[in-house]
């Protein structure tokens, strides 16, 4: 079994990557293969809107980068999508990636039946995480994947995926920021819970 995580942050190894890695660590602990792909390190060309993928399940753009990533996605049992919030939305890099996956579901859903999950990270406390999370989840479901959330079946407290924030507290009218997501215990707990839920589902 293999679980793939795809990070849409323009900054590899930062908060969104750390969240994805927390989920992957739970999965890797059970001897399942895991891999994190940083979209910032993959040269994905823009969708040309040529509509050729409406006729055949293939992309007219023959770039190795996207072809390699699509192969990893098709081979994976579960995929976790992560994007930071940019202007209340997914990052531009993640949107380019989304558009380039169109051929994987227009004629037939090549990712159908896989386990899918999403998480996001933003600067502010209400900085657009919920909307971005819903976009990521809609994308996952649009590809026919079975969406798994961070909800712990024994505790049942979370309804959405993990959504981190840099916001820490107010000192007077000045915002105190967290150093990084490791200082956000709720998000860390949710990422780990998400990883365990993915494991439960791929074992089913």
Ligand X SMILES: Cc1cc2nc3c(=O)[nH]c(=O)nc-3n(C[C@H](O)[C@H](O)[C@H](O)COP(=O)(O)O)c2cc1C
Q: Which residues of this protein are in contact with ligand X, per CB under 6 A?
A: 9, 11, 14-16, 84-88, 121-124, 127-128, 166
Q: CB-based burial of residue 23 (10 Å sphere; 0-12 exposed, 13-18 middle, 19+ buried)?
A: buried
Residue 107, φ and ψ in degrees, nearest 5: -90, -40
Rounded to a whole number of angstroms, the minimum distance from the CB of residue 161 to ligand X is 15
Say which residue the tokens 């915002």 belong to. 175
Which residue, 116 or 128, is less far from ligand X as judged by CB?
128
Contact between 140 and 116 (Cβ < 8 Å): yes
In the complex with ligand X, which residue's Cβ is closer, 109 or 182?
182
DSSP lists the bridge partners of residue 146 as 115
From the CB of 185, what's the least distance to ligand X, in Å?
16
C-alpha span between 164 and 120 (Å, rounded): 6
Q: CB of 42: closest distance to ligand X in angstroms?
A: 16
User: Please, are residues 175 and 167 in contact by the beta-carbon 8 Å criterion?
Assistant: yes
Q: CB nearer to ligand X: give 11 or 203.
A: 11
Residue 89, phi then psi, degrees to nearest 5? -145, 180
Q: Which is nearer to ligand X, 39 or 166 (CB)?
A: 166
Cβ-based nearer residue to ligand X, 19 or 202: 19
What's the closest the beta carbon of residue 77 comes to ligand X, in angstroms? 25
State in angstroms the smallest separation of the CB of 174 from ligand X: 17
Rounded distance between C-alpha atoms, residue 32 and residue 80, angstroms: 14
């Amino acid at each position: 079994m293999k679980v793939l995580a795809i990070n849409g942050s323009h900054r590899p190894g930062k908060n969104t990557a750390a969240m994805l890695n927390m989920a992957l660590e739970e999965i890797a602990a059970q001897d399942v293969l895991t891999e994190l792909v940083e979209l910032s390190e993959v040269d994905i060309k823009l969708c040309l809107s040529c509509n050729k993928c409406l006729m055949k399940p293939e992309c007219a753009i023959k770039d190795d980068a996207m072809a390699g990533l699509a192969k990893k996605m098709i081979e994976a049992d579960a995929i976790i999508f992560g994007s930071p919030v940019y202007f209340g939305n997914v990052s531009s890099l993640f949107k380019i990636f989304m558009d380039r996956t169109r051929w994987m579901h227009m004629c037939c859903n090549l990712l159908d039946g896989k386990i899918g999950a999403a998480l996001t990270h933003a600067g502010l406390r209400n900085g657009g995480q919920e909307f971005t999370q819903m976009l990521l989840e809609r994308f996952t479901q649009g590809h026919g994947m079975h969406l798994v959330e961070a909800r712990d079946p024994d505790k049942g407290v979370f309804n959405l995926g993990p959504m981190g924030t840099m916001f820490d507290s107010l000192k007077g009218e000045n915002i105190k920021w967290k150093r990084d997501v490791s200082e956000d215990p709720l998000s860390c707990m949710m990422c780990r819970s998400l990883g365990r839920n993915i494991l439960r589902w791929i074992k089913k």
